[in-house]
Chains A and B, each alone.
Chain A
Amino acid sequence: MSQRELDNLINSIAQAGHRVSGVERRRFLKSGLLMVGAAASATSVAGASESVGVPPNIPPWSKRLGRGVVSHPYGSPSPHEAHVQRRTVDWLTADRIASISFTPLADLNGIITPSGIVFERYHAGVPEIPPDQHRLMIHGLVKRPIILSMDDLMRFPSQSVIRFLECPANGGMEWRGAQMDKLQFSHGMLACCEWTGVRLATLLEEVGIDANAAWVLAEGADGAHMSRSIPMDKALGDALVVFAQNGEMLRPEQGYPLRLVNPGWEGNTWVKWLRRLEVGDKPWYHREETSKYTDLMADGTSREFTYVQECNSVVTSPCPEKPFRVKGKYMIQGLAWSGRGKIKHVDVSVDGGVSWHQAQFTSQVLPKALTRFALEWDWDGSETLLQSRAIDETGYVQPTYGQLRQARGTNSIYHKNAIHTWKLSPQGIVTNVQIS
């Protein structure tokens, strides 16, 4: 095919796009696309087609050598996985500096979120911090105020835990009705990583807190100087000051070189680029714990310091990004998590909540970590309302929308953990719905 012919073809594809629509258009583009692809790849292997690697053919990659070691000194995912990306929803925030992006949950497996696709949330962009310049100051109601370099910090005893991280606004757009068209956007302010760091309690022991110490202010080194008040029971409990995530140093978007981790608690308390810990006797009531991250009830009152991310779950296959193609057997799969501990059970309903079936766990069941479940199901091709319902070790059962709205109204933005419904259409397409 000559360049001219190629141009014509591309033009006709573009024009056809204006005339035909829907399925027809997609089918046309796809077939056109294969032709363009074949023509445009000058290096294309003779006979390249859908079946090139399929028996009885011997695929080309089996007949030649691949690239050598350190051609990618820091590897990245296969180019065939390029669609697995964080994405944002522009209308949520004024710009991309104080904004949010979402984890592509539909493409995750297991319980660990790869560091590069952990959702992002920050208020003044991602600072570039040279680790040798970074300092953590600990002061306030302490006997020995100190300043630690990263080297100092990493000499303390450290430990690694797998814990989920969730923004309390996850799903917060859906209080009044279904609004997000993809799983990535309905539940993607969620991730689960292995975190390595020093227990905050160890650091507080080192500085020696005064008898009236009851709160710790954590503050970031970014332009927002993001700050949150943390009660002392958490600080001396499972809070960690972490420098590593999934085996490597934190990613810049996740607070490189240092962040706080408050397992089970809302993500914005996990202050990133952590530069300062001040011990005090009262909370600070800063902007991110008054104007934001307080939950407004229907009667006009508000709840403050709503730290815990309560038990929640969602079906991740099928979902809008992972439709079903044919009738038959499937594993309905999903994720469950609770900020109060381990997941005890997950139940799945395929009839809009009339009856429920206990799903199996297909991952480790760790406290305050994503937990994977699955249920085998034979889809007969009819329209189906799919739901999952998680129960945690405290006995708390994930609530319905009705129950949440009854207790809180629809203006609270944060901490929406209602049972979620997907509608599976006879075509296998999945849409986000809410049911009465």
Chain B
Amino acid sequence: MFKFLSVVVCLLLLGACAPTMDGEAPEALKPGVDASFAYAGDRVGHFGFGQDATSIQIAGWDIDVRPDGQGLPVGSGSVADGESLYEEQCAECHGSFGEGVGRYPLLAGGEGSLTDGRPTKTVGSYWPYTSTLYDYIYRAMPFTQPVSLSADETYALTAYVLYLNDLVDDDLVLDQDNLASIRLPNEANFGPDPRPDVANTRCMQNCRDPNLIKIVSEVVSEAPTTLPINERTAVQSQQHPGQATYDQYCSICHNVGVGGAPTLDDAANWGVRLSAGVDVLVSNAINGMSSASGVMPAKGGFVHLSDEQVKSSVLYMVENLAASQ
């Protein structure tokens, strides 16, 4: 807290240490720069814009919770209630034991791993405060339905995630009064930012022994994505008639692979498709197709496109496929 004392002093001295906007204020703003950048506590309501916020309005949005428990709503929830809620609403992504499904985050485990080569940071192994868990679950989870949980449900889920981390007993009932008293093991290991923490010097000559320079890691790159300028102009000197349609309608899925759409740089995927012949591709694009990889709606879902437009965008795709190799 000490480093913020200076702020309070600033406020008291009203501008004695006025923070200035570093550098280039536009000329017109320059006169009176300092005065306008000092916090002037006597200007409350100077502009008078906006409405006064009522306590009901504030309550509707004021969802934040702090480590000391400030902001916790009245409510309670048990580990047992949390377990069933967790199975219903969380386990599909975070796993029944908090082990994480696929690349979704782990919620438990990793104790003692913070000094390992590959540390595992979880609520139990890393997070400093229990309040963060309550706050985050309510504000952002379940991922597809944020701010949908009640206070009781959020307490129950918080209790259950703590339980998954072996931090509380299975009979815990969490509420607004006891949550802040549950301390997490890694709290003491957080501290302020000491940077700058390195001191390089500006050496210009003979800065190191050339014989000691070795390449210790290297990323072997594919062919450059950008053709050299002269070749690029040659290839693209006229816009393909199918490009406009592709850019407007097909790129939505095919540029990044939405819904399993093959992207233009996926050579292997297109190699297989192309072996059926371009006519087949055109007809599938016009009529739609589906397979394990996904659903290609007829004309990409844009039924107003003419068959000719779709055909020419398929030809454009096929060419661009080659161009990206």
User: Among the listed B25, B64, B131, B225, which residue makes an inter-chain contact with A182, where contact means beta carbons less than 8 Å apart?
Assistant: B225
Complex: how many Å from CA A94 to CA B256? 15
The 8 A CB mask of A99-127 against B (1 = contact, 0 = none) is 00000001100000000000000011000
Contact A436 B216 (CB under 8 A): yes
Would you give the shortest CB distance from A81 to chain B, in whole angstroms?
Answer: 10
Within residues 322 to 344 of chain A, which ones have a CB less than 8 A from any CB in chain B?
A: 322-323, 325, 341-342
Within residues 107 to 156 of chain B, which ones have a CB less than 8 A from any CB in chain A?
A: 114-115, 117, 119, 121, 123, 126-129, 131-132, 135-136, 139-140, 143, 146-147
A351: which B residues are within 8 A, CB to CB?
Answer: 210
B186: which A residues are within 8 A, CB to CB?
Answer: 302
Stretch among B8-16, B163-171, B286-294, B298-306 lining the A interface = B8-16
Given contacts A206-B45, A367-B24, contact A300 B115 (CB under 8 A): yes
Within residues 159 to 218 of chain B, which ones have a CB less than 8 A from any CB in chain A?
A: 186, 189-210, 212-218
Complex: how many Å from CA A88 to CA B22? 34
Contact A304 B193 (CB under 8 A): yes
- For residue A358, which residue of chain B has the nearest CB? B204
Let me know if A301 is at the binding interface, CB within 8 A: yes
Contact B218 A178 (CB under 8 A): yes
Contact A429 B121 (CB under 8 A): no
- For residue A52, which residue of chain B has the nearest CB? B237
Contact B49 A152 (CB under 8 A): yes
Contact A302 B237 (CB under 8 A): no
Let me know if A382 is at the binding interface, CB within 8 A: no
Let me know if B79 is at the binding interface, CB within 8 A: no
Complex: how many Å from CA A211 to CA B4? 12
Contact A286 B135 (CB under 8 A): yes
A342: which B residues are within 8 A, CB to CB?
Answer: 23
Complex: how many Å from CA A114 to CA B48? 35
User: Among the listed A80, A161, A208, A429, which residue makes an inter-chain contact with B21, where contact means beta carbons less than 8 Å apart?
Assistant: A161
For chain B, the bracket of interface size reads 35 or more
- For residue A155, which residue of chain B has the nearest CB? B49
Given contacts A107-B226, A146-B52, A307-B193, contact A436 B62 (CB under 8 A): no
- For residue A410, which residue of chain B has the nearest CB? B117
A48: which B residues are within 8 A, CB to CB?
Answer: 237-238
Let me know if A249 is at the binding interface, CB within 8 A: no
User: Among the listed A36, A44, A179, A306, which residue makes an inter-chain contact with B238, where contact means beta carbons less than 8 Å apart?
Assistant: A44
B194: which A residues are within 8 A, CB to CB?
Answer: 303
Given contacts A182-B225, A282-B66, contact A34 B115 (CB under 8 A): no
Let me know if A360 is at the binding interface, CB within 8 A: no
Contact B325 A29 (CB under 8 A): yes
User: Among the listed B40, B103, B129, which residue makes an inter-chain contact with A205, where contact means beta carbons less than 8 Å apart?
Assistant: B40
A177: which B residues are within 8 A, CB to CB?
Answer: 216-217
User: Among the listed B7, B63, B318, which residue makes an inter-chain contact with A231, where contact means beta carbons less than 8 Å apart?
Assistant: B7
- For residue A395, which residue of chain B has the nearest CB? B202
Given contacts A25-B325, A233-B6, A435-B214, contact A305 B66 (CB under 8 A): no
Let me know if A217 is at the binding interface, CB within 8 A: yes
User: Among the listed A13, A207, A302, A397, which residue makes an inter-chain contact with B200, where contact means beta carbons less than 8 Å apart?
Assistant: A397
Contact B195 A137 (CB under 8 A): no
Complex: how many Å from CA A291 to CA B105? 11
- For residue B71, which residue of chain A has the nearest CB? A284
Contact B10 A233 (CB under 8 A): yes
- For residue A308, which residue of chain B has the nearest CB? B195
Contact A423 B214 (CB under 8 A): no
Given contacts A205-B41, A278-B64, A368-B22, contact A301 B207 (CB under 8 A): no
Would you give the shortest CB distance from A149 to chain B, in whole angstroms?
Answer: 7
Contact A224 B200 (CB under 8 A): no
A49: which B residues are within 8 A, CB to CB?
Answer: 234
Contact A278 B62 (CB under 8 A): yes
Given contacts A179-B219, A296-B121, A436-B213, contact A285 B66 (CB under 8 A): yes
Complex: how many Å from CA A271 to CA B135? 17
The 8 A CB mask of A398-413 against B (1 = contact, 0 = none) is 1110011011101100
Contact B39 A291 (CB under 8 A): no
Would you give the shortest CB distance from B138 to chain A, in whole angstroms?
Answer: 9
Complex: how many Å from CA A418 to CA B255? 33
Contact B278 A287 (CB under 8 A): no
A400: which B residues are within 8 A, CB to CB?
Answer: 200
Would you give the shortest CB distance from B192 to chain A, in whole angstroms?
Answer: 7
Contact B198 A304 (CB under 8 A): no
A397: which B residues are within 8 A, CB to CB?
Answer: 199-202
Q: List 21 A-B contacts (CB under 8 A).
A: A50-B234, A124-B143, A137-B58, A138-B53, A181-B220, A209-B39, A212-B8, A223-B140, A225-B140, A232-B4, A237-B19, A263-B22, A284-B64, A296-B121, A306-B195, A321-B225, A341-B23, A356-B202, A397-B200, A408-B197, A415-B195
9 interchain residue pairs of minimum CB distance: A208-B44, A177-B217, A237-B19, A367-B23, A94-B103, A397-B200, A225-B139, A300-B114, A50-B234
Given contacts A231-B4, A431-B219, 9 further A-B contacts (CB under 8 A): A138-B53, A147-B57, A155-B47, A224-B139, A227-B139, A236-B39, A397-B201, A398-B200, A432-B219
